[in-house]
């Protein structure tokens, strides 16, 4: 018994603390930089998704997709919401008239809108990221 006591007396505080905490997991440290990086990543993904929806909407016009189809309606509806009013088909940056005007309006205005969403996403990513 005296030998056991001598063995524990000879240990330093660091050794006894290390053995006592060996079974525990270290607490997860979340830094402000990692949170900002994650937010920037989410913002970039959302802006890229918005650009994709606008591009798909323009593609539905270019391919003369069935406007009665639920998926086509969904994509065109959301593209109409994401065009910010600036790139709309009826009152966009440029309005074409004549043959295939609807297709040209969609490709031109929603195409530029998609590029603008990508630029906005990149700028916000650079501003938010540490």
Query: What residues does each domain of the chain span?
Result: 52-130
pLDDT greater than 60 at residue 107: yes
Q: Are 91 and 113 in contact (CB under 8 A)?
A: no
pTM of the model: 0.73
- Tokens representing 110? 């929603």
* pLDDT tens column, 45-80: 999 999 999 999 999 999 999 999 999 999 999 999
Please, which pLDDT band fits residue 84 given cuts at 50, 70 and 90? confident
Tokens of 65: 């997709």
Length of the chain, please? 130
Element (H, E) at 46: helix 32-62
């Amino acid at each position: 018994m005296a030998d056991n006591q001598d063995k524990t007396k000879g240990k330093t505080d660091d050794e006894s603390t290390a053995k006592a905490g060996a079974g525990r997991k270290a607490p997860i440290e979340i830094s402000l930089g990692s949170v900002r990086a994650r937010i920037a990543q989410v913002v970039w993904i959302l802006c890229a998704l918005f650009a994709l929806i606008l591009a798909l909407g323009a593609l539905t016009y270019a391919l003369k997709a069935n406007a009665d189809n639920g998926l086509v309606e969904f994509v065109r509806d959301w593209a109409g919401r994401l065009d910010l009013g600036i790139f709309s088909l009826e009152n966009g940056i440029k309005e074409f008239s004549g043959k295939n005007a609807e297709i040209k309006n969609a490709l031109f205005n929603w195409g530029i809108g998609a590029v603008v969403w990508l630029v906005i996403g990149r700028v916000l990513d650079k501003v938010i990221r540490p």
